[in-house]
Amino acid sequence: MGSFDGAETCELVGLYLLSQLQYLDIKVGLYRDDGQQITSTDMKNKEKMCAIFRDNGLNITIQDATIPYTEALKKNGHVKALKYAGKKTNTTTKNENKRKETANEETKETNRTNRRKRRITWLNPPYSKNVSSNIGKKIFDLLNSCFPANHKLHKIINKNTTKLSYSCTTNIKQIISSHNKRIINESSKKVSTTNLCNCRDKPSCPLQGNSLEQSLVYQATVKETNTNKIDTYIGITENTFKTRFNQHNYVKL
């Protein structure tokens, strides 16, 4: 089994175990192969959990991670007892009221400017050519069955807040089209205000008053002096056409 198949198998096993643990009075969370549970019943469901894992051929060890409040304070270095600070003076209360008012005004302004964004949960299943079933439909069917409208987590996990995709990045077509649009917009905004011709003799300009144009594909008719043979020459230049034309004349000489 490869890495993608192993991860997919691990998720399927975890979901199957969570479906069996949902009837117990506990809250269990699972990510990949790491699980965590929170309970306030003093581990009364320990034997039931062990039996569920034992029936599926798995072993589990449950440890009590609760620490008394005083011991936690001692471990963090808080040895001194708490003392009452006394009543607050009028100056401190006035300053606190001003701070609260300014904070409330700032929060109101930010709430007006900022728009509320929907929190979306993305599901990225591993891609495999061997899978021919419609995984997306089955996943959303599971969401509808496990989190119905009367469920307390339905507002967080539903078809509107959950998206499914093999990749969250844009595809090649979108990247190329956005790049082309950006280049076209930049070129359309540029307005050439410079002079397009600086020839001394304007009527004899080889490009009819546009000799300073750049990035051109041009075509010329060439006649040999010895045989009077006429050929067609096609060229391309990134510089101005006048610079390229002068280079042709220099080579001819």
Domain parsing of the chain, residue ranges: 1-65, 121-164, 202-252
What single-letter amino acid sits at 41? Answer: T
Tell how far CA 187 is from the center of its chain.
Answer: 30
Cα→Cα distances 125→64, 120, 122, 167, Å: 34, 16, 10, 9
Distance in Å from the first CA to the final CA of the chain: 73
> Are the CB atoms for 216 and 237 separated by under 8 Å?
yes
What single-letter amino acid sits at 140? Answer: F
DSSP summary character for residue 151? S
Indicate if the alpha-carbon torsion angle 215, 221, 225, 230 is positive or negative. Answer: positive
> Is residue 175 within a helix (H) or strand (E), and if so which, with residue range?
helix 172-189
DSSP summary character for residue 102? H
- In tens digits, the chain (253 residues) has pLDDT values of 455 667 777 778 888 888 887 777 777 777 666 666 666 555 667 778 888 888 888 877 766 655 565 666 666 666 655 554 555 555 566 677 777 777 777 676 666 555 667 788 888 888 788 888 888 888 899 889 999 999 988 888 888 888 888 776 777 888 899 999 888 887 766 545 467 888 888 888 888 888 888 888 888 888 887 888 888 888 888 888 888 888 887 765 5
